[in-house]
Amino acid sequence: MGSTKLFVRTVGGVLRGGKGTQSILLARTFSSSTRRFNIDKVVPSALEAIRDIPSGSTILSGGFGLCGVPNTLIKALVSQPHIKDLTCVSNNAGIDTSGLGLLLASGQIRKMIASYVGENKTFERKYLTGEIDLELTPQGTLAERCRAGGAGIPAFYTPAAVGTWVQTGELPVRYKPDGTVAVLSKPKEVREFGGRQFVMEEAIVGDYALVKAWKADKLGNCVFRHSANNFNGVMGRAGKVTIVEAEEIVEVGELEPSSVHLPGVYVSKVVQAVEGKGIEKLTFSEEPVEEATDKSALGEGKTFTKRDLIVRRAAKEFKNGMYANLGIGMPMLAPNFVGKDVSVVLQSENGILGLGPYPVKGKEDADLINAGKETVTLAAGASVFGSEESFAMIRSGRIDLSILGAMQVSAKGDLASWALPGKIKGMGGAMDLVSNPKRTRVVVTMEHTDRKGNPKILDACTFPLTGPACVSRIITDLCVFDVDPVQGLTLIELAEGVTEEEVRSKTQASFKVAEKVGKML
């Protein structure tokens, strides 16, 4: 019997063609087929979920500080010490007793790719004694490298880190046991676009991604809560195999489709989270917010006087309607002194637009922290998002003002804020925050001299740069300088009781004096 070819086409849901004519109504129910709901990515335990991870793997881990950290999966890895020589990619490594700090302590990590060493003493010690390698990467660049990896983009150009050790290849990747540098990073390609310089960065793709979700369904769709989104979304997209631990696992159809942050197509396995959530820095308002006093967050004695002066003067930088990002320490106190007629929206680079005050004790939330890992609240009208979105708005100049601390500032506005000789804590998000100074105004708050009385305003910075020619104003306990990358420093304000001569004696860099020098307050 010869073969018969059957040509089929659809017309209005009817199949036509072939020898004779057949009419078949199509139900078009494939998108809601019950067979699709038979997909179940839930595995019975974390140990089962990580069982196939071999030694030498690259592991992407979500989390920022202790917020949104996949501790259930990390502890499962720690219980399998034969899985070693890992390269771990994360913003930081938690602390000694939580997060990736546990894998550092167990000796299973060979290399970290991170933006911040932070307060993890094990991380710092192992790095500075050559026990692990470290590829320091600016926080926004790290988020974008993972986002690009998940999007199939091999490399991209960013303005962050131009003119710094990240670009020039002077970052210590590995130390010798005696503390000397064994291996330096490689220089990065720089290209000019629109009259600005940009650094080329390569994407990151992980063999495995470990993600912490608030809710996940059996298809792997995930929802993150508040600032626990941070790096979890980008890490989940950039893993070849993504394993999610969820606080709550729900049936298919229970998640509102528009609320899904990480679609199930990226997720391979889902497991129930069994470890609790930690908070790195519990920070409270001493009184209910509406009754709090301005001075409640400041120090006492001489410390009070200096901090009070600098913070109160920094508050004058806010203008009504601004979007502002504040560094940890003194900058975070400035909003306490903003007048009631000025409304400012505060941004935190770990994924919050609309920061509220510190919570009252007992009202803290482990899923709500700022970039300093402190507990915070959300203001009315706030929004939350992933770290990649946060740094997109920073680099593109959507943030009007960034107030940062500093170790040194040069006469041309170069900023050094992230490393001291023999101590490298990491740059965090600072290099991104100063990467677009024409759109985002950068103001530095700091004491005029260091603890030994040495000037911190210099002709040229001696510490590694955070960014070149990026600072436009310096506020110290003695005075206020305006900074121009060509003209240099101009003294525009003096603190009460401070003379021009005192400022000159405590400032290495030369400076001009404005025709009319005002009072700081």
Look up the pTM and report it: 0.91
Q: Is 148 helix (H, G, I), strand (E, B) or coil?
A: helix
Give the DSSP letter of residue 72: H
Summarised one tens digit per residue, pLDDT across range 65-104 is: 999 999 999 999 999 999 999 999 999 999 999 999 999 9
The answer to whether the CB of 509 falls within 8 A of the CB of 301 is no
d(CA 393, CA 347): 10
CATH, domain 46-272, list 3.40.50.11750, 3.40.50.720, 3.40.50.300, 3.40.1080.10: 3.40.1080.10
Q: Please count the other Cβ atoms lying within 10 Å of the Cβ belonging to residue 194.
A: 5
Band of pLDDT at residue 107, cut at 50, 70 and 90: very high
User: What would the 3-class secondary structure string for 360-394 be?
Assistant: ECCCCCCCCECCCCEECCEEEEEEECCHHHHHHHH
pLDDT score of 463 = 97
Mean pLDDT of 368-380: 96
Those residues whose C-beta lies under 8 Å from the C-beta of residue 47, and which sit 6 or more positions away, are 76, 79, 80
Q: Do domains 46-272 and 306-519 have the same CATH topology?
A: yes
Summarised one tens digit per residue, pLDDT across range 176-215 is: 999 999 999 999 999 999 999 999 999 999 999 999 999 9
Q: Is 70 helix (H, G, I), strand (E, B) or coil?
A: coil
Tokens of 213: 């979700």
Give the DSSP letter of residue 434: T
The answer to whether the CB of 471 falls within 8 A of the CB of 465 is no
Structural domain boundaries of the chain?
Answer: 46-272, 306-519
Q: In percent, how much of the chain has pLDDT > 70?
A: 89
Task: Look at residues 116, 128, 113 and name the one whose alpha carbon lies nearest to residue 172.
Answer: 128
Q: Please count the other Cβ atoms lying within 10 Å of the Cβ belonging to residue 63.
A: 27
d(CA 273, CA 68): 11
d(CA 357, CA 277): 21
Tokens of 238: 């950039």
H or E element in which residue 208 lies = strand 206-217
Tokens of 25: 């109504």
Provide the mean pLDDT of the chain.
91
| pLDDT of 23 above 50 | no
Those residues whose C-beta lies under 8 Å from the C-beta of residue 393, and which sit 6 or more positions away, are 347, 353, 399
Summarised one tens digit per residue, pLDDT across range 289-302 is: 443 344 444 444 55
What end-to-end distance do the CA atoms of the chain give, in Å?
A: 101
Architecture of domain 306-519: 3-Layer(aba) Sandwich (3.40)
Enumerate the active-site residues.
349
Mean pLDDT of 466-485: 98
Q: In percent, how much of the chain has pLDDT > 90?
A: 85
Tokens of 512: 């001009």
Give the DSSP letter of residue 229: -
d(CA 471, CA 458): 13
Summarised one tens digit per residue, pLDDT across range 420-464 is: 877 888 999 999 999 999 999 999 999 999 999 999 999 999 999
